[in-house]
Structure formats: C-alpha cells, structure tokens
Structure 1
Amino acid sequence: MSIKLLKNALRTGLYVAVVLAIGGGGVAHGADYKMPRMLVIGTAGTSSGSFASTNGWAPTFQKDMGSMTRIVPEDSDPQRYLRLTDRRDLTISSVSTADMRFQIEGIGAYASSKPVAQRIIWHHNDTPWGFVTRGDSELQTIEDLKKGGVRVARGEFSPPMTAAAAKALPAYLGMTDDEAAEKLSFVPASSYAENCRSVVEGKSDVAYCASTSAVLAEMEGAPGGIRWLSMDADNAEGWEGFLTYRPMVVPSEITLGVSTARGVAGLTSNFVYAVPADAEEAFAYNMAKWFHESFDKYKGSHPLAARMDIEVFRNYLDRAPLPIHEGTIRYLKEVGVWTEADDVWNQQAVEKMDRWLGARQAALDEARENRISASHNNEDFMKILSKHTEGLEGFRSRL
C-alpha cells in the first residue's frame, strides 16, 4: 500500500471512530448509560417549596440510580444561574420560567451575565402565587391599594419578584408610574422569607408570596393570621397590564398550599428543572425516564412532588414558550406524549433563544471593545444592549 493510501485509510478510520464515539454517546440510554457520581441540584432557599420538594424525591433517586444527590439552597436567582451555566458546580437548577425569561433576555441584574442557552428537562411544579396581607388589615380587596399609603414588599433577591411587586401590581391596578410612586411605597427584602414575613412583622402591608411555601404556614399561625387579596380573573384589562411585566404567569384559582389561599383568584408560576443546552442527551433522557417511571415512589414525599406527574408536564407543554432538551424529547416521544406540533413550537423556541443570546453576546463584545463597563447600572451599556436586542420578540406563555 502506498504512503498516500495508508494516510487516507488512517484518516478514514479515525473519522469513522469519532463518528461512532459521538453516535454511541447520543444513544446511550437506560442500562447503557451511567449516571454522574454526584448530582447537584440548585433550588431556592430553605423556606421554599422548591427546596422542600426536591429534598422529597432526591433520596429515592439516590437509592434507585446510585448517584449521590446534593440539594443546594441558593436564594439568589442570579447566583443560581451563574452556578449552573458558568461555574458549572450545579448539574440541574430548579427555576421559575419567569426567571428563565429574565436570564435569556438579560433583564435587570442579568443584563451583564454570560448568555448561556438552557433547556428544560422536566416540569417541577406549578406554584400558585398571590398578594397577601395581615388578617386584621384594613385592605379587604386588591382594589383598596389604590387608596394609597400602602407599603408593598419588594424582593430584591429575584428580578421577577421585583417586577411583580413594583411593576406588574401597579399595572394590574391601572396605575401609571407616577401614581404608583405617589400611592405605594416599596419595602426592600433581601430574601424570600423576609419578603413574606414582612407582612406579619408589620414592616409591609402587602407581599407577593407562594401559597405552598413553608413560611406561609408559619405566617398563617401568627397573631391575627393572614388574608389573600383576590385578583379577578375577569379583569381582562388588569391582567393585560400584569402580563406586560410578568408574561410567563397564568391567571388561575389557588388550589394548593395554606388554607387561607385556597379558592382565592391568583396566578400560577411554573417551576422547571433546567440544564445547560449542552448537557448530555443521554443524561436528560435518563432523568426524564426516572422522573416518569418512579413517580409513584416519590409523589407522596411532598405536595409539590405530585405536580411532577407526566400529565401535568404535558399540560404545561401546551403553553410552554421555552425549549425542551433533546433527551427529554426523545423519551417523551417513546411514551407517546410528544407530538409533531411540539416539534414546531420547540424549534421556534430554540431559535428565539439563540437570537436573544446572540444579540446579548454582541452587546457584551461591543462594550468590551469600547471599554464600557457591562452593568445594568451603566446607562452607556444599557444603550448598547437595547440597540442589539431591539425588535426581538420577548418570551411569553402560549395561552
């Protein structure tokens, strides 16, 4: 064999070996795939339903799959994003779809963060939220906030919670920015528990809280108790205003959580388990498979664990605006709950995310070239970011 032919044969053999290696990694499912030795899952703080429910199923997963499972409470959403996408010391993050939108579009504190594509691997829960006040408060309806002199807790630790209190609530009430500044005063809170407790501690009059979180049960038992302010589902104009600032939520009746909240008209915010888009397909596939096949084992571990049923996930997919991981899609197709129509909207979601991340990276590159500090507090940088993202369609629930 000539030297030339030998070189070509070696190149061909190497190419085939690489293709087989890549292909083999893509189809290593079930018994052929070995889960990571350590699974690190980031959640909101210890007072959150996200933390409690993840701790509910984790021991069963560890027993079934042999992976050490560590749940890391991280109350700061931006820090949890950083740990998942940049530091990579989290394998999975439990995150609200609202915060994922902020991460993708670079809203608030995320403006200068590293743009990294993410994918959903499973539905975590559809958390009910609403506005709560003290049981002995003079506020009887949410419309009473228009009278003025009302202190509203504003969670500084989470951009979506900041938006809900400072922007979405006034918009629901039909207030202009000037009216909101005149009639409402905002009380900063550095953690979720502080945000909610501020009501019963007399530091605020109204707080935006999830009815399923442990701190609400504690507040319900406080002297005077608590009361929830109903948000009329038929108030189309009010909801249009609210969704302008919180486009990922869905108006709904609260059916989960503390007794004082049940039957009150509020809203639902979905939490999902997310991974970087480059997470192994086989990993996502096997996680999805376990979440589905082991549901009966862990569904009673926490009330929110029952919301991890594949039927709940399927219902979420009917309005999901965020892309699902290829490994999860492969599994959902196998069990017959993924359709051709899902392929269409999911591909659109992938392309939309790519456009946003590409535009934001271009803004960061331009800022660096011009020695402009990339910060949401820097007006010059925000002008650059606005220029690059102008005209991009924002993420919004497919209602």
Structure 2
Amino acid sequence: MKTGFKLGAAAGGLMALSAFGAAAQDLPDTMVWTSYDVGSAGYAEASAIADAFGKEFGTRVRIQPSGSGIGRLQPLLQGRADYAFLATEAFFVSEGAFDFATPDWGPRALRAVAGRPAGITLIAAGDAGIDTVADARGKRIAFVAGNPSVNVKCEAILAFGGLTLDDVEVITFPTYAAAMSSMTRNESDATCTTPTTSQLYELAESPRGIHYAPLEAENAAGWEGLLKVLPIMGPSDEDVAAGLAEGEIAKMAAYRYPVITTTTEQTADEVYAFIKALDESYDLYKDGTATMSRWSLDISGRPAIDVPFHDGAIRYLKEKGIWTEEDDAWNAKRTERMDALLAAWEEFKPQNDGLSEDEFAEAWMARRAEVVAGLN
C-alpha cells in the first residue's frame, strides 16, 4: 500500500509552519497524529493533510509512524496523540478481536472523523475459472500469515458468494508480497487485496492474466453475507486497477484506509474544528497522492466505516448537508454493537483471569460472536 507523495514532509517531523488562518479555524497550535510507516499510503496522506493544515491554519503537526496497529493505537489511547490514521485495526480494537483479544486490551471505544475508501474484491488469475465469488469453491486462496486485516476481508468476500473457509483451499504465505505474487507463480488461484498492488500488474501481464470477481451492489443476499462477517464495507465502482481497460468499471467492496480516528474523550468542538479544517484545506492536499481526491467529505464522511462517527464530525457533516437519516441509523446500530461488546468485556474479563492467553482469547472470541449474533 505504497504511493508517491508530492507535498514533501520530513519523517516524524513538524509539518507546515506557516500560519494564514489559524484563528478562524479554532485549531490547536500543535497536534500529534499516528500513522503507518514512512513510505506507506497512510503516512503520505497524513503528511499531505498535515502540510495543508500548516499552510492554511498555522497548525504544526507531528506524525509518529509505526508499522504495527498497536504502535499506532497506544499513543492515541494514552492521550499522547490527538488522532490516528488507522487501518482495520480500528475495527479490531473496537471489537477486542485478534491481536486485541487479550486481557491487556479488549474492546475500546473509538470514534471516526473520516476515512478514505479503498477498493477490494476477490482477485483471481484469469485462467483459474473464477468468474464469480461462488466459483472459488475448491480453489486455492492466498492468505497472509499473521495478517487478520487481509484475511478477514477475504473471509467476508467469500461469504458474498455463499462460501466459508471450509469451501476453499486456504494457502497461507509468510508475507503479504509472497501472497500477492503467488498467483503469478501458479501457487494459488485467487486472493483478496486492493486492485493497484504492484504484484497484480505482474499477474495481469503474465500468461495467466487477471480477473476481478464482481461484488454487485444489487446482490442483496451477497452483501448480507459479507456484512455479517465484516460490517465495515460497502459497494464501490473502481476504474483504476491492474489490467483493467480504460473506461471499464470493476464492481468491488470499499473499506476505509486510512481512517482518521480519535477517542471519545476528544470533545465535539475539537473534532468539529478538525473536520472543518479537513474540509476547508481539501484543495491544498487533494492532489497529494493518486487517491487523495477521495478525502472529499461527501465520500469520506459517510458510513460504512470501522467505528461510529464522532458527534463533532456528525455535527459538521449535517451542516454541510452530507449526513443523512440513513447515516444516523447506521451510526446508532454501530454504536449499539460497540457498547454491547464493551459491556460484555467488563463482565467477561474478571471471570476468566485464570485462563492462559490462548484460552482467554479463544473464550473471548466465542463470547464476542455470541454478543454480535444477539444483535442481528
């Protein structure tokens, strides 16, 4: 997930020192954000926005990059960072899932400000006979060891076609790069990822070719199955993808990366000022990378997203005429789910303190599944 960055910024340094309109925006003089590592799309986009904040409002932003979800979350939850540019760890920590299914973590209450959509679907070798997701039955699907963010999205996409992991042959590769290149080497038939990953261009040019299994918006049953596994995605039409002819559209799902996330302790006025600045400085950063135009709030300020939107963000989005009654309903349902898991955790943790770490995680994930099932 790497991209170019046109607005130059020093790694982890203080961004954008000029001050042309800070008083009008009511932003703090300085802020700290966390993001993915230097060189990632998340870091490049956070840097471009930080640069714009400095030029437009005089706010200095220090970005703390980290290669792990825990490294991006800890400064935020400890009050040492104001905002975090997160990936799917925002959803996982809100559920206490995977790396966060431990006594030291568990579910945490986070709130979203905005999140840029990123397309994803089941991407198959052209000769694998996988025209639709349902055709993946019995095929070799590439997963990544220790990467639940990639793997759970693939599990959800398989559910779109009525499939579970038992219906396919899961081939686990040690690294993301190895999994993405495995189709070209004929070591797998399909995987799930974003359509501009570099290895997919190699697949498209290889004798096997490339095919995007469609996730059609009108397939209600398919989306119902997908969202039961991962309720943070929605339909997306993608026109930039490896091997996709100019003018063609691929029907995919969209998740959010990066998601600008904060805590419930951040006040509504503070978040309102932040998202207003994000909106008013858009023209300064929208060309920072190839995908930054998707930060327009009519795209990035609407569900579905990893965690509920912050009240301060909703206030501004309503003022702009972007937020709808349907968005309110989504946010209420997502908040109900988070609150139910937080309550379940408070009961579960003291009752299971004597378990080993693995036993504790297994028991909590089972309890989490029960809570979620009870909400549907």
- TM-score, length basis structure 1: 0.72
Q: 1:267 aligns with which of 243, 248, 253?
A: 253
- Go from structure 1 to structure 2 and tell me whether the alpha carbon gap of 1:376 and 1:151 turns closer, same or farther (over 3 Å shift): farther
CA distance in 1, matches of 2:24, 2:199: 42
Q: Contact between 1:367 and 1:373, CA under 8 Å: does it hold in 2? A: no
1:39-95: CA deviation from partner (whole Å, max 9, x where unpaired): 22313x567543443333332223333313325152x4455344533x555432233
Deviation string for 1:27-49 (max 9, x for gaps)? Answer: xx954845253422313x56754
Partner in structure 1 of residue 144 of structure 2:
155
1:311-326 matches, within 5 Å, as 311-313=298-300, 316-317=302-303, 322-326=307-311
Offset, 1:291: 0.8
Distance 1:383-1:331 versus aligned 2 partners, 3 A rule: closer
- Alignment length, in residue pairs? 347
Residue number in structure 1 paired with 2:213: 230
Partner of 1:9: none
Name the CA shift for 1:47/1:130 in 2 (closer, same or farther; >3 Å).
farther
Residues in 2 aligned to 1:341 and 1:168: alpha-carbon distance in whole angstroms: 23
What is the CA distance between 1:307 and its match in structure 2?
A: 0.9
Q: Determine the structure 1 residue equivalent to 2:343.
A: 358
The equivalent residue for 1:68 is 61
The 1:219/1:376 distance shift into structure 2, 3 A limit, reads farther
- In structure 1, the partner of 2:17 is none
Shift in CA distance, 152/42, structure 1 to aligned 2, threshold 3 Å: same
State yes or no: 1:249 paired with 2:233.
yes
Residue number among 151, 168, 171 corresponding to 2:159 in the alignment: 171
1:393 paired residue number? 375
Moved more, 264-273 or 302-311: 264-273
1:116 CA displacement: 1.9
The equivalent residue for 1:120 is: 112
Contact 1:155 1:195 in 2 (8 A): yes
Contact in 2 for aligned 1:42/1:90 (Cα 8 Å): no
Q: Which amino acid aligns with 1:254?
A: E
Say if 1:306 and 1:383 are closer, same or farther in 2 by CA, change over 3 A: closer
Letter in 2 for 1:42: S
Once residues 383 and 212 of structure 1 are traced to their aligned partners in structure 2, the CA distance between those partners, rounded to angstroms, is 35
Partner of 1:109: 99
Which residue, out of 180, 190, 202, partners 1:206? 190
Cα distance in 1, alignment partners of residues 344 and 212 from structure 2: 40
Is 1:84–2:66 an aligned residue pair?
no
Structure 2: runs of 5+ lacking an equivalent: 1-21
Asked whether the equivalents of residues 65 and 72 of structure 2 are also in contact (C-alpha less than 8 Å), the reply is no
State whether structure 2 residue 51 is matched by structure 1 residue 59: yes
Displacement after TM superposition at 1:118 (Å): 0.7
Q: Alpha carbon RMSD of aligned pairs, Å?
A: 3.6
Alignment of 1:231-380 (within 5 A): 231=214, 233=216, 235-258=219-242, 260=244, 262-271=248-257, 272-313=259-300, 316-317=302-303, 322-338=307-323, 346-347=331-332, 349-368=334-353, 371-375=354-358, 378-380=361-363
Contact 1:120 1:275 in 2 (8 A): yes
Q: Is the 8 A contact 2:180 2:200 kept in 1?
A: no
Q: Is the 8 A contact 2:122 2:212 kept in 1?
A: yes
Q: 2: distance between equivalents of 1:347 and 1:173?
A: 28
Question: Against the structure 1 CA distance between its residues 321 and 34, is the aligned structure 2 distance closer, same or farther, given a 3 Å change threshold?
Answer: closer
Deviation, 1:337, is 4.1
Is the contact made by 2:27 and 2:273 (CA closer than 8 Å) also made in structure 1?
no
The alignment-based identity, stated in percent, is 22
Q: Which amino acid aligns with 1:163?
A: V
Structure 1 residue 129: Cα displacement? 0.8
Q: Distance in 2 between matches of 1:172 and 1:390?
A: 19
Aligned-partner residue type, residue 109 of structure 1: D
Helix, strand or coil at the partner of 1:355 = helix
* Cα 1:346–1:163 shift into 2, 3 Å: closer
Letter in 2 for 1:126: P
Letter of the structure 2 residue corresponding to residue 354 of structure 1: D
Structure number with bigger Rg: 1
Q: For residue 47 of structure 2, what is the amino acid of its counterpart?
A: N
1:200 match: secondary structure: coil
Greater share of helix? 1
SS at match of 1:303: coil
CA distance in structure 1 between the partners assigned to 2:129 and 2:166 by the alignment: 22
Structure-2 change in CA distance of 1:263 and 1:346 (3 Å): closer
Structure 2 distance, partners of 1:212, 1:52, is 16
